[in-house]
């Protein structure tokens, strides 16, 4: 059956899978409740829905949608409603009424073909008129792409990205070669694309099909942090995926090698396959580190012992033998790694290095991979620290490619470059950093090797340490003052495989509390109560600025998505004086705290009289204003004001609660950490250790003791397969589609082969 009508209201929308409950006004059936998967549907949209009537036991008669298509409004009344609903930039209800009154049946033609005529409407400039036209046309083209992607079984959440890359010819481009989507959509299911391609007549043994099957296998491994895969495993995987013989796949693999798409390397009597850009990035990183380390030590400080003693006296500090060893190592080597857990003195070493070299009139540059990590570095050292992206002045990177070979990097003007939170740096970012470091510049890499690895592929810090080629200083002594903190003591205990300390010594700070509770509903209610006003018994913390909820997972009753909704209802509820914008099931409201979820190199920000570009993954801010007329949301990031269009709101999420992965590189005065049973891959020792080390003054963990003990025992974090292997442990064959291509455990970066 089919119904045709206009969306009156959206009752419910699931942002994960687009499941929607809405009211559809129809001429034939009046107002009808429709339910189903309806991506990119907004109030005011005209739809034709196909499905059947069902009777819900609680809500009565409904129309269950199997498929749908969007239509252009056919009446002036419907068109006015569509324009007034906020679907088109710069048009609100009043402006929509004026446009319809002025242009009547020609409204669509005017908007599409002669938008300059819209300037006769008060409040619409010629510039706005062109933006209105572009917004209207883009929306219509998106409908076509959504419909096409839905037909071939691909989530419509990718429609905007497909449109941005291919423009108005997107449907024709994809129809001619559906496998192009492999390069565009991260993590897309190959089988979905493959089925669509076979339906439109692409042969089973088509060259594009086989080569993209191979590429998909290699990309799948990179999503799990690896940069290379065992050739035999790759052949086995792609053979199963495409139902083609391994010999045929091997033939095409060799063709890809000749074309420079992949690199096949033999070592330890095993062949390994890489996408060429990953192979070349690892070779470059290894080679550049060695060259940096081997050049003449032009920044060596004479009589450093005497000069260091003066600094100790002036600053009234007494460095430990290990800290002194670290400072001397930086002086004697051009490249040096300093690693250690919380309270082991990394910051004191950094501050001493800065002062030493500044006294020698040398320029020291501080940087970190994320905005919050850079901010923390600034706060602890008193010196300006930048994100790597800002330091390198990275322009917009084509995000369809992980490594951009054509990127322009500005060289770093420095005598010493100190990089904090190096464990977070992935393959691409490390390559860009080393491209910018002059030979003769000292490079100091600081980080905690036991924290979570980078989100992107590669295992940079661990690989460098394991190589034995670069000087490494391991700080393993907890300083006396830090040893009074139960947060720090328990972090080190967890990292060494031990349970939390139980003693209630008066000498220890009251900064760590574990509340045992297994019931998820009670855990959630406890967290909400604690966040709202339960911390007053400890100290007058400002929830927005000082307290952060961190969880292992986004999903579930105690995941970030659910907690964020509850916290918003609790402390920033709907208010007639606060504007808001609904994006699916998510409501952004003035006063909400949010986080930028991906790097945006082009977005402008203002800070006083200064104007700059770039807001990066992990930066947190507060929504200060929302305009439904200009379709914009203004967010304040520590004094930097950024304006998002409604179409860009997929870049931000609420951040009352964030995942442990997103918290890495940050510190918060107070951390509330709910821990419940979830996917074992999220219940690991290094994840718990990372979460604990996010808290500076107070940590409250609530959860099951059994789950905590499981996490402490669970050290089965995947060791990533990267280049120059020196130790092999085991090999597991693929068991199902989507399994990591190889599960060998490796120690890596044997620099001596270069």
Q: Where is 306: in which H helix or E strand?
A: helix 304-315
What is residue 753's predicted lDDT score, i.e. its pLDDT? 28
Query: Which residues, in sequence order, are CB contacts of 324 under 8 Å at separation 6+?
Result: 308
- Can you give the C-alpha Rg of the chain in angstroms? 28
What whole-number distance in Å separates Cα of residue 238 and Cα of residue 37?
32
H/E element holding 138? helix 126-151
Q: Are 462 and 472 in contact (CB under 8 A)?
A: no
CA angle (3, 4, 6) in 5-degree steps: 125
The rounded distance, in Å, linking the Cα atoms of 691 and 706 is 17
Q: Please choose, from the candidates 668, 582, 571, the residue with its C-alpha nearest in 3D space to the C-alpha of residue 618.
A: 668
Largest CA distance in the chain: 91
What's the chain's average pLDDT?
Answer: 86
- The torsion of the CA quartet 23, 25, 30, 33, rounded to 10 degrees, works out to -20
Structure tokens given for 549:
């909820």
Q: Is 462 helix (H, G, I), strand (E, B) or coil?
A: helix
Sign of the torsion formed by the C-alpha atoms of 302, 303, 308 and 311: negative
Rounded to the nearest 10 degrees, the angle between the axes of helix 371-381 and helix 346-359 is 70
- CA angle 718-721-722, nearest 5°? 140
> Could you tell me the mean pLDDT of each successive run of 10 residues in the chain, 754 residues long?
88 72 88 85 84 82 85 80 78 90 92 93 91 84 74 67 78 86 80 85 90 94 91 95 95 96 88 94 94 95 94 91 95 96 92 95 95 90 92 67 78 96 94 95 96 90 92 88 86 94 75 93 93 69 74 93 94 93 86 89 86 85 91 92 87 95 91 92 92 93 95 80 45 30 36 30
- Distant-in-sequence, close-in-space partners of 133: CB < 8 Å, separation ≥ 6: 111, 112, 115, 118
DSSP of 440-503, one letter per residue?
T-EEEEEE-TTS---SSS--HHHHHHHHS-SEEEEE----TTGGG-HHHHHHHHHHTT-PPP--
- For residue 553, report the phi and psi dihedrals to the nearest 5 degrees: -130, 155
How far is CA 140 from its chain centroid? 29
Confidence at residue 257, expressed as pLDDT on a 0 to 100 scale? 96
Report DSSP letters for 356-373, one per residue: HHHHTT--EEEEESSHHH
What DSSP designation does 270 have? E
Identify whether the C-beta of residue 375 lies closer than 8 Å to the C-beta of residue 410: no
Distance CA 725, CA 492 (A): 29
Tell me how far apart the alpha carbons of residues 208 and 214 are, in angstroms, rounded to a whole number.
10
Which token pair is 339?
Answer: 């690693």
Instruction: Give which of 474, 473, 471, 470 is closest to 289, Cα–Cα.
Output: 470
Neighbours of 306 (CB within 10 A): 8
| Distance of alpha carbon 7 from alpha carbon 582, whole angstroms | 15
Beta strands in 544-656 (DSSP E): 547-551, 580-583, 586-589, 593-596, 600-607, 610-615, 620-627, 632-637, 640-645, 652-654
CB 505 within 8 A of CB 511: no
* Tokens at 413, concatenated: 């003007």
pLDDT at 536: 66
Q: Which residues pair with 549 in a beta bridge?
A: 657, 672
Specify the pTM: 0.78
CA neighbours within 13 Å on the CB side: how many for 88? 27
The CB density around residue 251, as the number of other CB atoms within 10 Å, is 11
What is the chain's length? 754
Buried b (16+ CB within 10 A) or exposed e, 138-166: bbebbbbbbbbbbebebbbbbbbbbbeeb
Tell me, what's the pLDDT at 543? 52
Residues 6 or more apart whose Cβ sits within 8 Å of residue 550: 657, 658, 659, 660, 663, 671, 672, 673, 691, 694
Q: What is the DSSP string of 680-743?
A: GGGS-HHHHHHHHTTEEEEEEEEE-HHHHHHHHH---PPPP--SS--EE-------STTS-S--
pLDDT given for residue 541 in this prediction: 58
Q: Under a CB-based contact definition with an 8 Å cutoff, are residues 99 and 118 in contact?
A: yes
3-state percent helix, strand, coil for the chain, nearest multiple of 5: 40, 25, 35
Give the DSSP H/E element, type plus range, for residue 491: helix 486-495
Phi, psi of 580 (to 5 degrees): -145, 165
Place of tokens 């690896």: 226
């Amino acid at each position: 059956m089919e119904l045709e009508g206009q969306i009156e209201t959206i009752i419910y929308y699931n942002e994960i899978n687009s499941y929607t409950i809405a009211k559809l006004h129809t001429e034939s059936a009046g107002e009808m409740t429709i339910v189903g998967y309806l991506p990119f549907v907004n109030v005011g949209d005209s739809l034709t829905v196909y499905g059947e009537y069902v009777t819900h036991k609680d809500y009565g008669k409904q129309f269950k949608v199997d498929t749908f298509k969007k239509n252009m409004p056919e009446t002036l009344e419907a068109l006015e409603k569509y324009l007034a609903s906020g679907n088109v930039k710069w048009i609100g209800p009043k402006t929509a009424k004026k446009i319809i009154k002025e242009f009547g049946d020609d409204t669509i033609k005017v908007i599409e073909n002669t938008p300059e005529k819209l300037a006769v409407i008060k409040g619409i400039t010629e510039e706005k008129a062109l933006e209105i036209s572009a917004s209207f046309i883009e929306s219509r083209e998106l409908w076509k792409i959504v419909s096409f992607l839905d037909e071939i079984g691909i989530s419509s959440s990718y429609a905007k990205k497909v449109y941005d890359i291919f423009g108005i010819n997107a449907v024709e481009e994809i129809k001619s070669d559906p496998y192009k989507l492999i390069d565009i959509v991260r993590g897309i299911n190959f089988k979905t694309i493959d089925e669509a391609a076979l339906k439109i007549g692409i042969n089973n043994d088509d060259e594009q099909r086989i080569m993209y099957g191979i590429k998909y296998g290699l990309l799948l491994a990179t999503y799990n942090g690896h940069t290379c895969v065992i050739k035999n495993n790759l052949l086995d995987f792609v053979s199963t995926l495409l139902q083609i013989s391994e010999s045929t796949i091997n033939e095409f693999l060799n063709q890809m090698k000749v074309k420079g798409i992949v690199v096949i390397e033999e070592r330890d009597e095993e062949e390994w396959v890489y996408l060429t850009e990953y192979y070349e990035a690892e070779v470059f990183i290894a080679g550049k580190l060695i060259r940096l380390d081997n050049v003449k030590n032009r920044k060596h400080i004479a009589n450093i012992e005497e000069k260091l003693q003066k600094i100790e006296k002036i600053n009234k500090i007494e460095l430990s033998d290990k800290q002194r060893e670290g400072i001397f190592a930086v002086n004697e080597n051009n490249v040096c790694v300093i690693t250690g857990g919380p309270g082991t003195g990394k910051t004191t070493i950094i501050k001493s290095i800065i002062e030493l070299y500044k006294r020698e009139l040398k320029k020291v540059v501080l940087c970190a991979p994320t905005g919050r990590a850079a901010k923390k570095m600034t706060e602890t050292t008193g010196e300006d620290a930048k994100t790597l992206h800002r330091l390198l002045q990275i322009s917009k990177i084509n995000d369809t490619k992980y490594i951009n070979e054509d990127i322009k990097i500005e060289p770093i003007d420095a005598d010493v470059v100190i990089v904090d939170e190096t464990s977070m740096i992935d393959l691409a970012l490390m390559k860009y950093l080393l491209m910018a470091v002059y030979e003769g510049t000292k490079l100091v890499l600081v980080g905690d090797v036991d924290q979570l690895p980078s989100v992107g592929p590669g295992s940079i810090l661990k690989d460098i340490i394991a190589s034995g080629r670069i000087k490494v200083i391991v700080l393993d002594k907890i300083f006396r003052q830090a040893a009074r903190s139960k947060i720090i003591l328990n972090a080190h205990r967890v990292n060494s495989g031990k349970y939390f300390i139980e003693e209630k010594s008066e000498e220890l700070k009251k900064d760590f509390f574990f509340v045992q509770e297994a019931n998820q509903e009670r855990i959630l209610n406890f967290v909400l109560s604690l966040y709202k006003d339960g911390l007053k018994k400890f100290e007058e913390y400002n929830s927005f600025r000082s307290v952060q909820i961190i969880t292992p997972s986004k999903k579930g009753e105690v995941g970030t998505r659910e907690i964020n909704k509850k916290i918003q209802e609790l402390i920033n509820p709907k208010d007639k004086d606060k504007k808001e914008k609904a994006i699916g099931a998510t409501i952004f409201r003035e006063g909400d705290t949010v986080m930028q979820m991906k790097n945006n190199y082009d977005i402008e920000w203002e800070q006083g009289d200064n104007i700059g570009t770039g807001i990066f993954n992990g930066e947190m801010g507060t929504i200060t204003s929302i305009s439904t007329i200009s379709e914009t949301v203004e967010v304040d990031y520590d004094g930097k004001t950024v304006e998002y269009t409604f179409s860009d709101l997929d870049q931000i999420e609420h951040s009352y609660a964030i995942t442990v992965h997103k918290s890495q590189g940050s510190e918060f005065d107070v951390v509330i950490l709910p821990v419940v049973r979830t996917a074992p891959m999220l219940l690991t020792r290094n994840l718990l250790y990372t979460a604990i080390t996010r808290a500076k003054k107070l940590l409250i963990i609530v959860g099951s003791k059994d789950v905590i003990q499981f996490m402490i025992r669970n050290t089965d974090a995947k060791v990533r397969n990267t280049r120059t292997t020196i130790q092999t442990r085991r090999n597991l064959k693929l068991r199902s589609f989507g399994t990591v291509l190889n599960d060998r455990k490796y120690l890596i970066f044997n620099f001596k082969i270069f």
